[in-house]
Amino acid sequence: MSFEPKIVGFLCNWCSYTGADLAGTSRIPYPANVRIIRVMCSARIDPTFVVQALAQGADAVLICGCHPGDCHYSEGNYKAMRRFPLLKQLLKAYGVEDDRVRQTWVSASEGQRFAEIVTDLTERVRALGPSRIHPELLNDQRER
Amino acid sequence: MSRSIKIDPITRLEGHGKIEIFLNDDGAVEDCFFQIPELRGFERFVVGRPIEELPRIVTRICGVCPASHHMASAKAVDGCFGNEVAPLAHKLRDMYYHAHYIHSHIAHFYALAAPDFVCGPDADPSVRNILGVVAKVGLEIGKQVIRARALAQNIQQILGGRTTHLVWCLPGGVSKGLTPEELQEIRPMVQELSSFVDFSLKLFRDVVLGNPSYVDLILHGPYTLDVQNMGLVDEHNAPNFYHGKVRVVDFQGQEIVKYEPAEYFEHVAEHVEPWTYLKFPYLKKRGWKGFKEGIDSSIYCATPLARLNVADRMATPRAQEAFEQMFTTLGGHPSKALMASHWARLVEMVQNAEMLQRYCDDPEITSEQYRVVPRQITGTGVGIVEAMRGTLTHHYTCDNNGICTSANLIVGTTNNNAPIQMVTKKVAQTLIQPGKAPHQGILNMIEMAFRAFDPCYSCATHSLPGQMPLEVRVYKGGELYRQFKR
Amino acid sequence: MEELKIGFYVCNCGTNIAHTVDVEGVKEVAAQWPEVAIARSYRYMCSNPGQEMIVNDIRELGLNRVVVAACSPRMHELTFRNACRLGGLNPYLFEMANIREQCSWVHTDKLVATEKAKALARGAVNRVRHHEPLDPLSAEMCPETLVLGGGIAGLTAALELALAGHPVHLVEKSDRLGGNIARVDLTAPYFYSARDLLADRLTRLRATPNVSVHLHTQLKNLSGFIGNYTATLETGNGDSAPRQKTIHIGNVIVATGYKEFDASRITHYGYGKLPNVITSFEFEQMLRSGRIQTQSGRPPRYVAIIHCVGSRNREFHSYCSRVCCMTALKYARELKSALPECYVSDIYIDMHAFGKGCEDFYRKSSEVKTLFLMYGKNEQPVIRKADAKDDCEMLIEVDEKLSGERIEIPADMVILMVGMEPRPDAGEVAHLVNISHDKDGWFIESHPKLDPVATTTEGIYIAGTCAAPKDIPDTVAQARAAAARILARIAKGKIEIDGVFAEVDPERCSGCRMCNELCPYSAIEFDAQAKRSHVIPAVCKACGCCVAACPSGAIKGRHFTDQQIYAQIEGVLA
Amino acid sequence: MTEKKKLQIALYWGAACGGCDVAVLDTNEFILDVAAAADIRFWPIAVDGKYADVEALADGELDLAIFNGAVRNSENQQVAELLRRKSKILVAFGSCAHLGGIPGLANLVKREEILTTAYLANASIQSGNRTIPCPETNCDGKKLEIPVLYKRVYRLADIVDVDYFVPGCPPAPEQVKNVLLAVVQGELPPRKSVIGASDRTVCDDCKRSKEEKKIQRFFRPFEIIQNPDRCLLEQGLLCMGSATRSGCGVRCPNSNQGCRGCYGPPPGVRDQGTKFLSALASIIDSKDPAEIEEILSHLPDFTAYAYRFGLPASILQRSHRS
């Protein structure tokens, strides 16, 4: 059977989580690989959450917030926007592939878009295969 | 089949030192290997770092001579920025470095060398350590030693903001200057230190030179090698620890070469053996000829003695006196008596103390031009200083964004890796005779050979008490039949 | 720490969940998880029996945590929190797993959907273990109110509050009260005199003791939070040095009004160049003075009224200014009664006649001789100077939609119905009182339908045309609504503050001040003496930005703590 | 303290530089008291005593084992496990044992690259050299062994169970004193605690003025002359003090250099690097992705800065011992 990635999604309550709900009420299907964790604002997403998820076996992480300018807290998503490129830099140094961590904006009315994002991400990560961070750490000490 | 004697662990910079002595069937030393079993890979993992960060990273190569690495690195980095450096910064760095030298030499002399001489080579091992020394010369002096070392550390603290692992040097200078108030703090310390240095020199004369058997031990015994000498000198061929040209002189006093730091790799190369992580530098133009002594040998020492061997004179008057007296006693300049390095250290300390005093009296020293902002990145630099334990070379390159693209390090002790191999074998051969098993003495004799070099894998023995753990296991037909340890 | 007893409930939602998720399977696996005291499934957890099930279990089994796996928390979180409260459990000891909107409705494969439902449920159960009971805080409510703007909205609101017996500070930037309404003659559709409307308000205002009017005054700074704001006012009419004054208030009504569109921006109307092209406000002036005449002092024989000047136009404002159409008809009527011989042509895009009495008003107006010409959006008529041979000042060319012909009409006077736009300083005001404005610059209400006069900042209300173009009745209604909202707050005496907010642990804060700039509501204060930052709970909206940003881990986001989120991450991945 | 029965102590030096021992030495006269109060049973760099002797000890016979340095090779691991068995209390002493330390930066590259660089590629290597040291060599019949260099660097806690952590590169002598006193007087906090440090961050002890923070431009330390009185971060200079446990005495900022985080994360912070990242990026003064990228371009090699002392301790590199 083919590899099914585990994806953790951090969604802001006001736009993206509502958008994901809309995908539901509109019955727009998407792969079941994503498990959504709700935060009030994308600015609450500490990059530590992302590495923690990866370290605990997530094959990918999705971060969604309101579109720039539309933040329920007026500017929270800009903070998320500022953190992301630095986080990517850091993950690159660890050898985490670019496609495994994505940040994007989903409004409350973009159920369709949310479904498309999850579908695309899932396909890309399926292609990448399982995240390799984990085993690398484990089998080394006994390495000769 | 050959039997082997293991001496493990000796002591370390990067991991334990280990000596393997192989005897042939009639019990004579067939071969002897001195191994360094650890590598941390600085040369690789500094690549990709911003070049100006390196002086703050490479200090962790050695926590006992961090300032040596910091300074060599700083100079290499200055090179990468076109050597645009505030003149005052050079003075401040040099001043710091003299204090660093004193702290290190005091520790080495009292914690390591003194036990052998003050307590005597044959004294009961349990008292042959700094505490033993204290017991012999009195607790007061013991406290003075600790205090003197602390003073040297304080001077560094005040100047550079830190002692171990300072973060002081930046391209173009240093991150902080010396205020008049701080200078006033330092002055009395410097005076106290220089009188302590005199005291140490006197102690050495009284205790060591006063005892013919020690003099004999220094001049004769197995502790001589026919190899060349390396050291950093100023334009008058006087020792300079922070700045200058590298001079190589053979054991008969003939100058082989005198080169600018930037030319180092035309003159020095490193040989690799599979059984140790530590490389073997040699004189490149002569080529690697194995562990061979002789006037044409490509092997050299870089020790305190070697530094004085390559020097024609000292840079300061009182040091000059000490220098002359030493070589007269040693029967001429240069000297091959490895044990004389202990003495050489004291002579160096005299110069360190006098230089500190000079800087204290320099009216410029407290001015504020301690750094310039470099205007260009030129991309390559070589920094050479004299670490306490030998000539230290850092060679970096960086891209035009100032990101390190390569780093090559030849660490002080590494220079002496080959001589140490050789003297170890020599001592083993002298002491282990066919037929009769090696006796207790071998341990200390080998240890003394090491101490002469104060190899940096033993620099940590600068803590109390000053004994290295040694053990000899003698096997017959693979069976352990005798062992010595202390 | 008491031993945890978690109640786990999974909802079939009829078949909405059950048809793709093996609800029983979820229930059974959940029952095995540590500290889960009871696991149940039910057709409709949100129904009364469903809620009672939770209430009873809390009472009988002594549950101290509750998890419901059902629809989106945005749907029923409050429902179930309430059930917990009824059962005697702090509502925040509850967590919800969204297995409908984010699972059963978007997945088809039952196996896969069930696995995901279990993961989401495990996440919720893990999380709830770390939940803490939270209680609302309360703060004093200062009964005084600051009203920004002395127009009809501000006056009305101030009066409303003052008459209820509460002090009001009415702040007007200009030298007199009245605002835009003071520039109007009669009002459509009933021809009330604006002058009278205003006069009535002003006299009653003077009669009310507890309104203090500040003319030539602007708000300079506003700090604090609902019930406890401190405002700095600056008064100065230019000729003397400005004086500053600080007042303590509980609420703010922003009624800063609008400014009319600058007609000269539409060059081909020739406003400012052609002498007899005037704006609606200039015409109001004529009406008020009772002298309708051209520059040359003659009464106009042909008057053209052009609608939507600056409005409903892709170049300037896309929105409709709402009042111009009726005002234009009013002009036609007033012209006809003043100058019966005058030909009036009304050039419009669409005739917007919504609202009470307006459709009748339109009909009546069309009965008096007015020529109605319809032009298309973005095909504005062109005005040019007439030649000597023509017996009129100007000629207007219109592509007339209804006839489909290009019509040329004479005009001695052209009235441009200029639309409304936000005042130039709207941005500053929004920033001062910490509210937001839309792309056009109108202030944004907290909910366009359900919460029109409130804003996202507690204690700041907006009324009248500062929020969008509107007519006088709507403006007055909003002013009174805002006043009513505030009166209700004042009547309560205290304000309740949600228990969910960020808090700084003073034992951990090192005063690095990283967080200070980050809060969009300025809820973080720095105590220079103690070298510590702290959060004002009433101002904090719990977005969690500072929590994520605090480098020393000193800020805790209540109900969204690191611990809770890490536990959930572990849960959904396990 | 000499009244009590002498403490049985062992010290060991893993993949480290020796600075930790110098830190002990920098307690000056105090060291004599320690010597009086304790029997140092094992300290390869200093006193008589060898693996064999330690192996001969009864399990738990030692009261205290102080381990400094990271675990880089098989020898480090063997000794770590040995000392864990023999000692009642095992202390991870200094940044390397605590977090992996600067040698941990090696975890950004492969072991093979390290060997190639050191023995084949470097400027001064004997031309044509093909030799790389290896764990076992056979020199005409003589078998020579050196420890196995591991693929990566580990914290002590990744290898064995650790009782206490003493942060710092090196630990500040004053803190070393406090720790040793606490041990001698038996006044240790609960196991697993970090000792010899504060619960706040370096900013708490830093004397520089601090304002609200917004960063328009980052500077590398060589690009400007530091203002000695103002928060370094506010000058656009990287300083990790805000995300670093205090206790060092603000050594680096007091020398006009940014903190590099050697004391590790404050309590409650799981990952020093990502936490600092979160804080630092949040105060970048821009809402435009392109501009943000531009501002960040003045900040090269952030990762190796954020984990200068703690790469092996980072969430993504912690080895999950099961």
Residues B320, B191 within the same domain: no
Interface test with C, best of A7, A41, A86 (most C CBs within 10 A): A41
Instruction: Indicate the residue among C464, C494, C524 that finishes a domain.
Output: C494
Whether B40 sits inside 8 A of D106 (CB atoms) is yes
B352 located within any domain: no
Residues B272, B167 within the same domain: no
Domain count, chain B: 3
Residues C150, C230 within the same domain: yes
pLDDT over threshold 50, residue B412: yes
Give contacts of C524 with chain D, Cβ < 8 Å.
none
pLDDT over threshold 70, residue A139: no
Whether C514 sits inside 8 A of D201 (CB atoms) is no
Residues C458, C488 within the same domain: yes
Confidence of residue C1 (pLDDT cuts 50, 70, 90): low
C570 located within any domain: no
Mean pLDDT of D159-169: 97
Q: B344-377 pLDDT, tens per residue? A: 999 999 999 999 999 999 999 999 999 999 999 9
pLDDT over threshold 60, residue C450: yes
| Domain parsing of chain A, residue ranges | 7-138
Residues C18, C58 within the same domain: yes
Indicate the residue type of A112: Q
Angle, vertex CA C40, rays to CA C37 and CA C41, nearest 5: 160
Please name the chains neighbouring D, where neighbouring means 3+ C-beta pairs under 8 angstroms.
Answer: A, B, C
Mean pLDDT of B212-226: 81
Residues B320, B282 within the same domain: yes
The residue of chain D nearest to residue C506, with distances taken between CA atoms, is D200
Residues B404, B480 within the same domain: no
The CA distance from B241 to B94, in Å, is 8
Decide if A54 touches D, using CB distance below 8 A. Answer: yes
Whether A74 sits inside 8 A of C436 (CB atoms) is yes
Domain with C508 in it: what CATH number?
3.30.70.20
Residues B304, B375 within the same domain: no
- Token pair recorded at residue B212: 């013919």
Residues C51, C76 within the same domain: yes
Residues B403, B295 within the same domain: no
Decide if B49 touches D, using CB distance below 8 A. Answer: yes
Interface test with A, best of C543, C563, C566 (most A CBs within 10 A): C543
Please, what is the end-to-end C-alpha distance for chain B in angstroms? 28
Range of the domain at C249: 145-257+423-494
Taking residue B3's Cβ as centre, other Cβ atoms within 10 Å add up to 20
**pLDDT higher at D44 or D146:** D146
Position D281 scores a pLDDT of 98
Considering only the beta carbons, identify the residue of D49, D72, D117 that sits closest to B40.
Answer: D72
Output the CA torsion C287→C293→C295→C297 (10° steps). -130
The CA distance from B468 to B448, in Å, is 10
Residues C297, C390 within the same domain: yes
Would you say A62 and A117 are in contact if contact means Cβ atoms under 8 Å apart?
A: yes
pLDDT over threshold 60, residue D184: yes
Taking residue B2's Cβ as centre, other Cβ atoms within 10 Å add up to 14
Give contacts of C519 with chain D, Cβ < 8 Å.
none
B10 located within any domain: yes
DSSP codes of every residue in C343-404: EEEEEESS----STTHHHHHHHHHHSSEEEEE--TT---EEEEPPSSSSSSEEEEEE-TTT-
Output the CA torsion C343→C346→C352→C357 (10° steps). -10
Sheet containing strand A34-39, edge to edge, reads A34-39, A7-12, A60-65, A101-105
Q: A96-107 pLDDT, tens per residue? A: 999 999 999 999
Say which residue the tokens 């003071």 belong to.
C182
pLDDT over threshold 60, residue D319: no
DSSP codes of every residue in C320-343: --SSHHHHHHHHHHHHHHH-TT-E
Residues B66, B198 within the same domain: yes
Chain D residues 161-220 within an 8 A CB cutoff of chain B = 169-170, 220
Whether B53 sits inside 8 A of D305 (CB atoms) is yes
C422 SS3 class: strand
Give contacts of B59 with chain D, Cβ < 8 Å.
17
Position B212 scores a pLDDT of 84
Instruction: Indicate the residue among C379, C399, C419 that finishes a domain.
Output: C419
pLDDT over threshold 70, residue D50: no
Residues C461, C519 within the same domain: no
Helix axes C48-61, C73-87, angle to 10 degrees: 40
C22 located within any domain: yes
Helix axes B139-160, D30-37, angle to 10 degrees: 130
Position B121 scores a pLDDT of 61
Interface test with A, best of C565, C566, C568, C570 (most A CBs within 10 A): C565
Indicate the residue type of C245: K
Range of the domain at B249: 225-336
Decide if C108 touches A, using CB distance below 8 A. Answer: yes
C173 SS3 class: coil
The CA distance from C365 to C335, in Å, is 11
Whether C549 sits inside 8 A of A79 (CB atoms) is yes
The CA distance from B341 to B454, in Å, is 9
pLDDT over threshold 70, residue D160: yes
- SS3 track for C284-304: HHHHHHCCCCCCCCCCCCEEE
Please name the chains neighbouring B, where neighbouring means 3+ C-beta pairs under 8 angstroms.
Answer: D
Would you say B464 and B146 are in contact if contact means Cβ atoms under 8 Å apart?
A: no
- Token pair recorded at residue C446: 């907290």
Q: Kindly report the backbone phi and psi dihedral angles of residue C412, in degrees, each rounded to the nearest multiple of 5, phi listed first.
A: -95, -25
The CA distance from C529 to C164, in Å, is 42
Whether A94 sits inside 8 A of D316 (CB atoms) is yes
pLDDT over threshold 60, residue D47: no
Interface test with D, best of A84, A94, A105, A133 (most D CBs within 10 A): A94
Whether D243 sits inside 8 A of C549 (CB atoms) is no
Considering only the beta carbons, identify the residue of D210, D265, D276 that sits closest to C511.
Answer: D210
User: What CATH number was assigned to the domain covering residues A7-138?
Assistant: 3.40.50
Would you say B386 and B392 are in contact if contact means Cβ atoms under 8 Å apart?
A: yes
Would you say B99 and B81 are in contact if contact means Cβ atoms under 8 Å apart?
A: no
Residues B246, B205 within the same domain: no
Whether A18 sits inside 8 A of C74 (CB atoms) is yes
Instruction: Indicate the residue among B414, B439, B459 that finishes a domain.
Output: B414
Whether A55 sits inside 8 A of D303 (CB atoms) is no
Residues C505, C490 within the same domain: no
ipTM of the complex: 0.90
Considering only the beta carbons, identify the residue of D277, D319, D320 that sits closest to A83.
Answer: D277
Position B6 scores a pLDDT of 63
Report how many Cβ contacts below 8 Å link chain B to chain D: 284
Residues C129, C178 within the same domain: no
Position C434 scores a pLDDT of 83
Sheet containing strand C382-385, edge to edge, reads C382-385, C394-399, C406-411
Domain count, chain C: 4
Domains of chain D: 7-103+153-184 (3.40.50.700), 110-149 (no CATH), 202-313 (no CATH)
Contacts for B229 with CB less than 8 Å, ≥ 6 apart? B248, B249, B250, B251, B300, B301, B302, B305, B306, B307, B309, B310, B334
Decide if A3 touches D, using CB distance below 8 A. Answer: no
Decide if A44 touches C, using CB distance below 8 A. Answer: yes
Position D2 scores a pLDDT of 41
Confidence of residue B217 (pLDDT cuts 50, 70, 90): confident
DSSP β-bridge partners for residue B283: B268
Residues B265, B172 within the same domain: no
pLDDT over threshold 90, residue C259: yes
C365 located within any domain: yes
C109 located within any domain: yes
Residues C411, C432 within the same domain: no
Would you say A79 and C518 are in contact if contact means Cβ atoms under 8 Å apart?
A: yes
Mean pLDDT of D184-209: 94
- Token pair recorded at residue B375: 């205007």
Whether D292 sits inside 8 A of A47 (CB atoms) is no
pLDDT over threshold 50, residue A135: no
C221 located within any domain: yes
Give contacts of D243 with chain C, Cβ < 8 Å.
551-552
Residues C285, C350 within the same domain: yes
Residues C269, C377 within the same domain: yes
Q: What is the mean pLDDT of chain D?
A: 90
Mean pLDDT of B211-221: 79
Would you say D306 and B49 are in contact if contact means Cβ atoms under 8 Å apart?
A: no
Mean pLDDT of A117-140: 79
Q: What is the mean pLDDT of chain C?
A: 94
Please state whether the peptide bond connecting residue C189 to the residue before it is cis, i.e. omega within 30 degrees of 0. yes
The CA distance from A94 to A90, in Å, is 7
pLDDT over threshold 70, residue C23: yes
Q: C114-169 pLDDT, tens per residue? A: 999 999 999 999 999 999 999 988 889 999 999 999 999 999 999 999 999 999 99
